[in-house]
């Protein structure tokens, strides 16, 4: 299993990432406001299924890679640092999107809601790159089975993401109204998340060079 310090750091990064606006959050908030919470929660089930797909694929692939390729661990660490820097830039760049700039979505049935949630998750490059480049940063072969560590971290990320998105689904209407008249709050959130992600990126890059 991952060590406690690594587990806490991974959880904080996962939280920072889910609070950074992306296709999944924008879709779920838009669905909640356009069609209601029940429809958004069905879509969230599809999004979570997409996370599980990527997590299992990445866990199996990372396990094989770390056992077969020398220096793969260091290379993945550097890739993870670059990825977090990209996310930090997306948070603070001019014109960055807020999940509460809502899109109008037509009402859909349960099957389509599940399918749209799944497709939104699977086609989100942020999810794919996260599992391939970020997850290995917190896997340490000396701490035990690599696959079990990857699965434990993956399900931690899924639990955090689903929980935070569920909160946004429930509070979507109220938050959209609140933030529409207080753009400063959105700016503070974006810069705070960008700073946290950039700090973790610098830490990872430093560790990779040792």
For residues 160 and 47, what is the distance between their CA atoms, to the nearest angstrom? 13
pLDDT of res. 43: 93
171 pLDDT higher than 80: yes
Residues 6 or more apart from 184 whose CB is under 8 A from it?
none
The whole-chain average pLDDT of the chain stands at 75
Sign of the CA dihedral running 149, 155, 156, 161: positive
189 pLDDT higher than 90: no
Q: Which of 87-96, 120-129, 140-149, 192-201 has the lowest mean pLDDT?
A: 87-96
182 pLDDT higher than 80: no
pLDDT of res. 71: 62
Going from N- to C-terminal start, the domains of the chain cover 4-208
79 pLDDT higher than 70: no
Tokens of 160: 């955090």
42 pLDDT higher than 90: yes
pLDDT tier for residue 56 given thresholds of 50, 70 and 90:
confident
pLDDT of res. 153: 87
Helical H runs in 69-145? Answer: 72-92, 110-122, 125-129
Most confident of 79-83, 153-157, 193-197: 153-157
52 pLDDT higher than 80: yes
Give pLDDT tens digits for 82-120.
Answer: 766 776 676 666 655 555 555 567 788 889 999 988 988
Tokens of 71: 């220096």
Give pLDDT tens digits for 13-36.
Answer: 888 778 776 778 878 888 888 788
Q: Which of 5-9, 128-132, 194-198, 206-210 has the lowest mean pLDDT?
A: 206-210
For residues 146 and 3, what is the distance between their CA atoms, to the nearest angstrom? 13
pLDDT tier for residue 146 given thresholds of 50, 70 and 90:
confident
């Amino acid at each position: 299993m991952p060590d406690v310090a690594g587990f806490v750091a991974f959880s904080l990064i996962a939280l920072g990432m889910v609070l950074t606006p992306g296709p999944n959050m924008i879709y779920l908030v838009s669905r909640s406001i356009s069609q209601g919470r029940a429809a958004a929660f069905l879509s969230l089930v599809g999004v979570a299924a997409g996370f599980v797909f990527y997590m299992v694929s990445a866990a199996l692939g990372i396990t094989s890679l770390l056992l077969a390729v020398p220096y793969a661990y260091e290379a993945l660490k550097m890739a993870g640092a670059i990825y977090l820097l990209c996310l930090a830039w997306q948070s603070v760049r001019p014109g960055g999107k807020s999940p509460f700039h809502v899109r109008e979505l037509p009402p859909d049935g349960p099957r389509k809601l599940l399918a749209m949630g799944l497709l939104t998750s699977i086609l989100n490059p942020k999810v794919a790159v996260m599992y391939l480049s970020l997850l290995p940063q917190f896997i340490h072969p000396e701490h035990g089975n690599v696959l079990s560590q990857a699965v434990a971290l993956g399900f931690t990320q899924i639990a955090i993401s689903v929980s935070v998105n569920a909160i946004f689904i429930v509070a979507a209407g109220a938050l959209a109204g609140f933030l529409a008249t207080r753009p400063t709050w959105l700016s503070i959130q974006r810069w705070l998340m960008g700073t946290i992600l950039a700090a973790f990126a610098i830490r990872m890059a430093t560790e990779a060079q040792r």
